[in-house]
């Protein structure tokens, strides 16, 4: 069993696991139109993901963190040589979005473990919210999270 974390503004707590935001806007590993939920393998990495994407003024809003335990057998891992060579490009590379969207469309596994762009030796998890096992996940109750005031400047 592996533990992962999802951090969102508290106003999105009830929909944090539905993949709708990624479906509307896309992400590093998915094109718009493909629902996906992004998790991090640590609280710190989840916070870093927010820090690199959110404007600083949003760090003053209310945030929550959700813990999700996922059976190892529901997680597919990729080796570094299996992801597109340009996966770390900014903004998100089309080939990384193609890679993740293709995986999401196949709907074979609940989760795909991928390297984090911020710290490539750590991982994020791409969740297919429409996979049959998604309904078996039991996320924790959202817990308040606040960023250190030094980061909010």
pLDDT digits (tens, 9 = 90+) for 48-93: 999 998 888 889 899 999 999 999 999 999 988 899 999 999 888 9
* CA distances in angstroms from 8 to 49, 78, 149, listed in the order given: 11, 26, 18
Beta strands, E only, 11-110: 37-40, 63-70, 75-77
Number of domains in the chain: 1
Structure tokens at 83: 């992801």
pLDDT at 66: 98
pLDDT digits (tens, 9 = 90+) for 107-153: 999 999 999 999 999 999 999 999 999 999 999 999 999 999 898 77
> To which H or E segment does residue 31 belong?
none
pLDDT at 80: 84
Domain assignment of residue 45, given as a range = 2-152
């Amino acid at each position: 069993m592996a533990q992962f974390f999802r951090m969102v503004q508290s106003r999105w707590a009830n929909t944090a696991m539905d993949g709708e935001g990624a479906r509307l806007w896309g992400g590093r590993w998915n094109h718009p139109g493909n629902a996906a939920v992004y998790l991090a393998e640590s609280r710190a990495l989840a916070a870093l993901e927010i820090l690199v994407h959110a404007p600083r003024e949003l760090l003053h809003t209310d945030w929550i963190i959700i813990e999700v335990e996922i059976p190892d057998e529901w997680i597919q891992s990729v080796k570094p040589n299996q992801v597109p060579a340009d996966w770390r490009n900014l903004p998100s590379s089309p080939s990384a979005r193609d890679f993740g969207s293709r995986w999401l469309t196949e709907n074979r596994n609940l989760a795909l473990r991928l390297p984090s762009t911020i710290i490539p030796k750590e991982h994020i998890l791409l969740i297919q919210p429409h996979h049959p096992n998604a309904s078996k996940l039991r996320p924790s109750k959202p817990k308040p999270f606040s960023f250190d005031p030094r980061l909010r400047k």
